[in-house]
Structure 1
Amino acid sequence: MTAPTLSATAEPTTPVGRGWMWRFNLAWVGIMIGLFGPIQILLPNQAENIDPANKEFILALVTALGALCSTVANPLWGALSDRTTSRFGRRMPWIVVGAVVGAMALVGVGATSSVLLMALGWCVVQTALNAPWAALTAVVPDQVPAPQRGSAAGWLGLAQMLGAFIAIGVATVLPGVAGYAACAVVMLLVLVPFVRRRQDSVLPKSQQPSWSWGGFVRGFWINPRDYPDFGWAWLTRFLFNLSNAAALVYLLYFLRDELNRDNAETGVLILGAVNAVGVVLAVVVSGVWSDRLGRRKVFVTASGVIMAAAGVMLAVSPTWAMAIPTAFVLGIGFGVYTSVDFALITEVLPAAAARGKDMGVLNIASSLPQVLAPAIAAVVVTHVGGYPMLFLISGIVSAVGAVLVRFIKSVD
Structure 2
Amino acid sequence: MVNEVSGATSRRGVVDEDQPKFPWKPGLGLLFGGAGWYWAGQAVNAVLLPAKIAQIDPEGKVGMVAIVSTVTMVISIIAGIVGGALSDMTRSRFGSRTPWIVGGVVVGTIALLFFAFTSHVGVVLASWWVYAAVYNAMLAAGCAWQPDQVAPRWRGTASSMYGVGHQAALQGAQVVASLFVTNIPTGVIISLVIGDVLSLISVAVCREASNKDMPREKFTVGSALSNFLPPKDGGRDYWLAAMARFLWMVPGGIGTYRLYTLTDYMGQSDADAGKWMSFMALLAVIAAVSCGVIAGPISDKFRSVKIPLAIAIFTVGLPCWLPFFVPTPVMYTIYVAISSLGSGVFSSLDQAIMTTVLPNPKTAAKDLAFLNSCGVVGNLTAPLLAGWVINTFGYRGLFPMGFVVLTSAAICVFFIKKVK
TM-score, normalised relative to structure 1: 0.93
- Code of the residue aligned with 2:402 in structure 1: it is S
- Give the conservation status (yes or no) of the 8 Å contact 2:244–2:409: yes
Aligned to 1:265: 274
- Please tell me whether the aligned partners of residues 315 and 387 of structure 1 are also in contact (alpha carbons under 8 angstroms): no
Q: Give 1:324 deviation, angstroms.
A: 1.6
SS at match of 2:207: coil
Aligned-partner Cα distance in 2 for 1:131–1:53 = 34
In structure 2, the residue matched to 1:154 is 160
Matched, 1:135 2:135: no
Displacement of 1:398 in angstroms is: 0.6
- Of residues 147-156 and 308-317 in structure 1, the stretch that sits farther from structure 2 once superposed is 308-317
Deviation at 1:4, TM superposition (A): 6.4
Equivalent position of 2:52 in the other structure: 46
Q: Which amino acid aligns with 2:112?
A: L
Q: Is the 8 A contact 2:161 2:348 kept in 1?
A: yes
Q: Matched residues in 1 for 2:358 and 2:268: separation? A: 46
1:62 aligns with 2:68: yes
Matches within 5 A, 1:282-361: 282-361=291-370
CA deviation vs aligned residue, 1:292-313 (integer Å, no higher than 9, x gap): 1111110121012212212222
Q: Distance in 1 between matches of 2:256 and 2:225?
A: 32
The answer for the alignment partner of 1:402 in structure 2 is 410
Deviation at 1:205? 5.3
Partner residue, 1:116? 122
1:8 maps to amino acid = R
Hey, what does 1:208 align to over in structure 2? Answer: 216
Pairing of 1:373-384 with structure 2 (within 5 A): 373-382=382-391, 384=392
**8 Å Cα contact 1:34-1:103 kept in structure 2:** no
Is it true that 1:248 corresponds to 2:249 in the alignment? no
Unaligned runs of 5+ in 2: none
Output the aligned Cα RMSD. 2.0
- Other-structure match for 1:280: 289
Deviations 1:338-390 (A, max 9, x none): 111210111110001000111001111110012211111111101x2112211
The residue type paired with residue 55 of structure 1 is: K
Tell me the residue number matched to 1:78.
84
For 1:329 and 1:261, the matched residues in 2 are separated by: 22
Distance in 1, matches of 2:221 and 2:263, equals 49
Residues 10-57 of structure 1 deviation map (CA, whole Å, 9 limit, x = unaligned): 425324444553343122212111211112221111111111111112
1:408 partner SS: coil
Q: Which deviates more, 297-306 or 110-119?
A: 110-119
Deviation track 1:217-268 (CA, whole Å, cap 9, x = no partner) reads 33413247x611111111111111113x122110111111111112211111
Match of 1:231 among 231, 239, 247: 239
Question: Deviation at 1:178?
Answer: 2.0
Please give the alpha-carbon distance, in whole angstroms, between the structure 1 residues aligned to 2:230 and 2:138.
22
Using the TM superposition, give the Cα deviation of residue 323 of structure 1 relative to its aligned residue in structure 2, in angstroms. Answer: 0.8
- Structure 1 residue ranges, 4+ long, deviating more than 6 angstroms after superposition: none
Query: Conserved in 1, the CA contact under 8 Å of 2:7 and 2:23?
Result: no
Matched position secondary structure for 2:60: helix
The offset of 1:197, in angstroms, is 4.8
Residue aligning to 1:188: 196
Aligned partners of 1:279 and 1:336 also within 8 Å: yes
More divergent stretch after superposition (355-364 vs 188-197): 188-197
SS at match of 1:52: coil
The question of 1:7 aligning with 2:13 is answered no
**Partner Cα distance (1:31, 1:279) in 2:** 18
Q: What is the identity, as a one-letter code, of the residue corresponding to 1:11?
A: V
What letter is aligned with 2:111? A
Deviation at 1:106, TM superposition (A): 0.8
Supply the distance in 2 between the matched residues of 1:43 and 1:338 (Cα, whole angstroms).
24
The answer on whether the counterparts of 2:253 and 2:383 sit within 8 Å (CA) in structure 1 is: yes
CA contact (8 A) 2:178 2:277 kept: no
Output the CA distance in 2 between the equivalents of 1:283 and 1:196.
24
- Give the deviation of 1:121 after TM superposition: 1.0
Q: How far is 1:69 from its partner?
A: 1.2
Instruction: Provide TM-score, normalisation by structure 2.
Output: 0.92
User: Which one-letter code corresponds to 2:263 in the other structure?
Assistant: R
Question: In 1, distance between residues paired with 2:304 and 2:214?
Answer: 38
CA shift for structure 1 position 335? 1.3
Equivalent residue for 1:367?
Answer: 376
Could you say if the C-alpha distance between residues 129 and 115 of structure 1 is closer, same or farther in structure 2, counting changes exceeding 3 Å?
A: same
Q: Does the Cα contact within 8 Å between 2:168 and 2:289 map onto a contact in 1? A: no
Greater shift after overlay, 303-312 or 42-51? 303-312
Which of 163-172 and 320-329 deviates more? Answer: 163-172
Match of 1:107 in 2: 113
Which deviates more, 318-327 or 250-259? 318-327
Shift in Å at residue 5 of structure 1? Answer: 5.3
| 1:403 partner letter | I
